[in-house]
Structure 1
Amino acid sequence: MATQLKNLSDFSHTVVPSAANFRFGIVVAEWNAAVTRALLDGAYQSLVKHGAKEENIITYPVAGSFELISGADLLLKNKDLDAVICLGCVIQGETRHFDFICNAVANGISNVSIKYTKPVIFGVLTTDNQQQALDRAGGKHGNKGDEAAITAIKMAEMAETLSR
């Protein structure tokens, strides 16, 4: 597996623009809360580290990863935001429910992004077990929340640059 030997949240190889002029929404699933709280902390801290003002970061909890779709849609419909970060965690169980949820969430988040022509970032872990999720929520493989925040900053910057 490619992730076994590296921290996925190492951004030393790239330039991250300032987030100072952008407004961000974060929608975070409450299901698998130990994991999603860590993802939220990583995303929030990364935004602030790169210049986002705390008052320009709006956070809303939703029940589960499936609800990230309507949460992102509601945020973009009702708030003036430059990007929305969707954070969740779906862990493989004994049924095919995992496959349906992961597929629906990925497609739904993409559709919200297209609908509003705004970056909507997929920060959803889709893991085989709890340990894999924890390893990617601040553990040995970094924090997917950090990655989602950096992606949101870069995409907001791109959108602003292209709209000039």
Structure 2
Amino acid sequence: MSGHGSPTDQPVDCSDLRVAVVASSWHDQVMGGLVAGAERALVAYAVTDYRLVHVPGSFELPVVAQALAAGGYDAVVALGVVIRGGTPHFDFVCTAATDGLNRVALDTGVPVGFGLLTCDTEQQALDRAGLEGSAEDKGYEATAAALHTARTLRSLAG
């Protein structure tokens, strides 16, 4: 399982941060778990100023993440799931979304939590969605990573 070796969560006070969560609309059950995980992290890190935005699919995550980053948010969390099918569509969507989200973070200087599940099967996605019985909670993890990175960037700015 990919969670092996992950750091222990150490919530810090992020009550002064504005955070946006952008979530894909495909795969309701998985996305419900990812969004719930992100919201659990926001509570654990004392974030009260946040916005949740839904987009049609994972391909649309980068453009909306970019608009949110440019809109004054201190961190953006991108949540989505792409499950491999029988065509190259999987590869195109995964590459475009991943490259786009990386570009948003680098171009804007706003951390983007990477909560895009790229799975071979629906069961793999369910195992990572933070649902009851899931082995991992990628929505929480992506949010925690974005918040810690936002804190680090603030400390570097002085």
Aligned residues: 156
Contact 2:41/2:143 (<8 A) preserved: yes
The residue aligned with 1:90 is 82
* CA distance in structure 2 between the aligned counterparts of 1:31 and 1:15, rounded to whole angstroms: 31
Percentage identity across aligned positions? Answer: 37
Instruction: Tell whether 2:23 aligns with 1:31.
Output: no
Q: Does 1:71 align with 2:25?
A: no
Work out the CA distance in 1 between the residues paired with 2:37 and 2:6: 13
Query: Matches of 2:18 and 2:56 in 1, distance apart?
Result: 23
- Supply the RMSD in Å over aligned alpha carbons: 1.7
Aligned residue for 2:52? 59
SS in 1 for 2:73: coil
Residue type of the partner of 1:137? A
SS at match of 2:116: strand
1:132 corresponding residue in structure 2: 124
CA shift, 1:31, in A, is 1.1
Q: Is the aligned partner of 1:155 residue 2:149?
A: yes
Q: Secondary structure at the match of 2:26?
A: coil
How high is the TM-score relative to the length of structure 1?
A: 0.89
Question: Who is 2:12 aligned against?
Answer: 17
For 1:45, the equivalent position in structure 2 comes to 40
| Highest RCO, 1 vs 2 (Cα 8 Å, sep ≥ 6) | 1
Gap regions ≥5 residues in structure 2: none
SS of residue matched to 1:98: helix
Moved over 3 A (4+): 7-11
